[in-house]
Amino acid sequence: MRAYLDVGDHDGLRKPTETFASQLQQAGADYELHIFAGRHTDAYWRAHLADYLHFYTAGW
């Protein structure tokens, strides 16, 4: 399993996301964490949708 994590640098979920990434690292999981400018908004989601799709479809 691979996981793509991203969070805005001003997102209220930044700390929990970073904690989860740390737990994935400790477990030896295959993951990527990206911290982009922004907050937890629809505009943020739209701006990074292509990133998610590229990551999850790369092996197809």
What pLDDT was estimated at residue 1?
Answer: 81
**What is the Cα–Cα distance from 30 to 27, expressed in whole angstroms?**
9
pLDDT in tens, 4-60: 999 999 999 999 999 999 999 999 999 999 999 999 999 999 999 999 999 999 989
| Cβ-contact 30, 3 below 8 angstroms | yes
